């Protein structure tokens, strides 16, 4: 692999310059949403608010987890999709966020809602610090370094020196919060809305961030880093910050999910989680905000579907699904949606 970073973008882009612009470039060009899109978002939000009253608590719980995944995928997408830095170890930041929330609630008596920003902040710092040495690594090498982080995290969490805080292999049990006084919602419904609030907030922030100068700078760094630097973009700073912000999002997601599940342990955050996040980002659609939502639904629900279809080897079936998705939509679900929208404009 040569050092020219175009290998991290589509191989087709170098071979066929007439390929249509990626969703990221589209999003960057559009600085505001069309009326049709605003209407679509409103409908989606309304649907999201109605669902917990229509579905049972178990489904609401699953949707809460899916929302948390969506936030995590948005974070990872910022790093990998928009900025071209591959991370196979984002589960580690998910774990740090989750444990931060758990330890604050269990050992320091923090109320659950106060743990979210703290978890995010801790991960912001951790991500930034990891991103600094990672600046020197490209492509495969960065993949290995992040993979190593993902693999090592459970061992770090089990370590004796941290056992007093982390509970070692036994993990930490978290009490489930009730809806604040007076509101007639079940615990699951309340947590769902709490997670939904954070999801909407963070999605809005990301959209704002990515459609402006910063988003363009990230994409420029991904596609033509030398040119970007020549144009005055502080590549090193942007890359490390992106790592930090991406870790922030994933840490918040981990905290939200751990409160819903009420339990954290090293086994909850194996390398498998990191790989699932990568799967979610790619299947959902790289460099696309809506992709985070599609990807989250995929990684939350498709394994269950595979399990119901095949009792003998459900994960083989899941593998087949993955390969099939990549054949049908190499740019993810969001990419497919783009293609459809372009074919039927104004519909």
Partner 1 sequence: MKSVQFPKSLWLAASLVLGGALAAGHAAGQSAPKEIKLGQTMPYSGPASAYGTIGKVHTAYFKKINDEGGVNGRKINLVSLDDGYSPPKAVEQVRKLVEQEDVLALFQTLGTPSNSAIHKYVNAKKVPHLFVATGATKWNDPKNYPWTFGFNLSYQTEGEIYGRYLLKNKPNAKVAILYQNDDYGKDLLAGVKRALSGPNAKMIVAEATYEVTDPTVDSQILTLKASGADTFINITTPKFAAQAIRKVADSGWKPLHLLNNVGASVGSVLTPAGLDKSIDLVTVQYYKDATDPQWKDDPAMLEWRAFMARYYREGNVEDASNIYGYITAQLMVQVLKQCGNDLSRENIRKQAENVRNFKQSLLLPGITMNTGPADHAPIEQAQLSKFNGKQWVLFGEVLGGAQ
Partner 2 sequence: MDLLIHQILSGLATGGIYASVALALVMIYQATHLVNFAQGEMAMFATYLAWTLMQAGVPYWGAFFITVVAAFIGGVVLERLVIQPVENAPILSVVIVFIGLVFIFNSVAGWIYSYTIKPFPSPFPSEPLFGNSYVTSHELGSMAVTLVVLALVFVFFRYTPLGLAMRAAAQNPVSSRLVGVRVGWMLALGWGLASAIGAIAGIMVAPIVFLEPNMMSGILLYAFAGALLGGIDSPAGAVLGGFVVGVLENVVGMYLGTEVKLTVALVIIVAVLVARPSGLFGKVHVARV
Give residues in contact with partner 2 (CB under 8 A).
1-5, 7-12, 15, 80, 86, 133-134, 136-138, 140-141, 143-145, 147-149, 151-152, 155-156, 158-160, 226-227, 230, 275, 278-279, 281-283, 286, 312-316, 318-323, 325-327, 330-331
Residue 37 binds which of partner 1, partner 2, none (CB < 5-8 A, kind-dependent): none
Q: Which is nearer to partner 1, 142 or 317 (CB)?
A: 317
Residue 246 binds which of partner 2, partner 1, none (CB < 5-8 A, kind-dependent): none
Q: Which is nearer to partner 1, 78 or 149 (CB)?
A: 149
Residue 185 binds which of partner 1, partner 2, none (CB < 5-8 A, kind-dependent): none
CB count within 10 Å of CB 252 equals: 32
Closest CA to 322 of 295, 340, 343, 344: 295
Q: Which is nearer to partner 2, 199 or 278 (CB)?
A: 278
Beta strands in 66-193, from DSSP E residues, in sequence order: 172-173
The answer to whether residues 269 and 156 touch, using CB atoms and an 8 Å cutoff, is no
CB count within 10 Å of CB 268 equals: 20
The answer to whether residues 105 and 174 touch, using CB atoms and an 8 Å cutoff, is yes
Q: Which is nearer to partner 2, 108 or 141 (CB)?
A: 141
The rounded distance, in Å, linking the Cα atoms of 31 and 220 is 17
Give the CA-trace dihedral at 97, 260, 263, 93, to 10 degrees. Answer: -20
Residue 268 binds which of partner 1, partner 2, none (CB < 5-8 A, kind-dependent): partner 1
Q: Which is nearer to partner 1, 126 or 264 (CB)?
A: 264
CB of 336 to partner 2, least distance (A): 12
CB of 101 to partner 1, least distance (A): 14
Residue 173 binds which of partner 2, partner 1, none (CB < 5-8 A, kind-dependent): partner 1
The rounded distance, in Å, linking the Cα atoms of 3 and 104 is 44
Listed as own residue / partner, the contacts of 114-118 with beta carbons closer than 8 Å and 24 or more positions apart are 115/255, 115/259, 116/198, 116/252, 116/255, 116/256, 117/252
Q: Which is nearer to partner 2, 137 or 200 (CB)?
A: 137
Enumerate binding residues for partner 1 (CB under 8 A): 56-58, 61-62, 65, 151, 155, 158, 168-171, 173, 257, 261-268, 270, 272, 307, 314-315
Q: Which is nearer to partner 1, 242 or 250 (CB)?
A: 250
The rounded distance, in Å, linking the Cα atoms of 6 and 225 is 9
Residue 257 binds which of partner 2, partner 1, none (CB < 5-8 A, kind-dependent): partner 1
Tokens representing residue 7 in the block: 């290998």
Residue 187 binds which of partner 1, partner 2, none (CB < 5-8 A, kind-dependent): none
Residue 344 is classified by DSSP as S
Q: Which is nearer to partner 2, 152 or 205 (CB)?
A: 152
CB of 263 to partner 1, least distance (A): 4
The answer to whether residues 62 and 301 touch, using CB atoms and an 8 Å cutoff, is yes
The rounded distance, in Å, linking the Cα atoms of 247 and 132 is 13
CB of 332 to partner 2, least distance (A): 8
Q: What are phi and psi of 307, to 5 degrees?
A: -60, -35
Residue 39 binds which of partner 2, partner 1, none (CB < 5-8 A, kind-dependent): none
CB of 146 to partner 2, least distance (A): 9
Closest CA to 337 of 14, 26, 10: 26
């Amino acid at each position: 692999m040569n050092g020219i970073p175009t290998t991290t973008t589509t191989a087709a882009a170098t071979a066929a310059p007439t390929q249509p612009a990626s969703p990221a470039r589209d999003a960057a060009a559009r600085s505001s949403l069309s009326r049709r899109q605003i209407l679509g978002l409103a409908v989606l939000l309304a649907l999201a608010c109605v669902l917990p009253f229509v579905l049972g608590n178990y489904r609401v719980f699953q949707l809460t987890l899916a929302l948390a995944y969506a936030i995590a995928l948005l974070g990872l997408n910022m790093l990998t999709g928009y900025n071209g830095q591959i991370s196979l170890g984002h589960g580690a930041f998910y774990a740090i966020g989750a444990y931060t929330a758990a330890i604050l609630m269990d050992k320091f008596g923090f109320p659950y809602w106060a743990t979210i920003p703290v978890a995010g902040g801790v991960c912001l710092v951790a991500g930034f610090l990891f991103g600094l040495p990672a600046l020197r690594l490209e492509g495969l090498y960065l993949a290995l370094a992040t993979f190593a982080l993902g693999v090592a995290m459970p061992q770090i969490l089990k370590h004796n020196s941290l056992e007093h805080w982390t509970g070692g292999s036994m993990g930490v049990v978290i009490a489930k919060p009730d809806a604040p006084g007076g509101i007639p919602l079940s615990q699951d419904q309340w947590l769902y809305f709490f997670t939904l609030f954070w999801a909407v907030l963070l999605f809005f922030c990301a959209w704002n961030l990515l459609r402006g100068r910063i988003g363009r700078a990230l994409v420029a760094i991904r596609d033509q880093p030398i040119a970007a630097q020549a144009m005055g973009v502080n590549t090193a700073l942007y890359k490390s910050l992106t790592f930090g912000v991406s870790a922030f999002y994933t840490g918040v997601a981990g905290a939200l999910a751990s409160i819903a599940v009420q339990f954290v342990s090293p086994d909850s955050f194996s390398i498998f989680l990191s790989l699932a996040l990568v799967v979610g980002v790619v299947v959902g659609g790289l460099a696309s905000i809506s992709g985070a939502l599609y990807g989250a639904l995929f990684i939350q629900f498709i394994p269950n579907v595979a399990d119901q279809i095949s009792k003998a080897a459900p994960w083989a079936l899941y593998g087949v699904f993955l390969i099939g998705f990549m054949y049908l939509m190499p740019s993810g679900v969001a990419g497919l949606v783009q293609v459809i929208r372009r074919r039927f404009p104004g519909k």
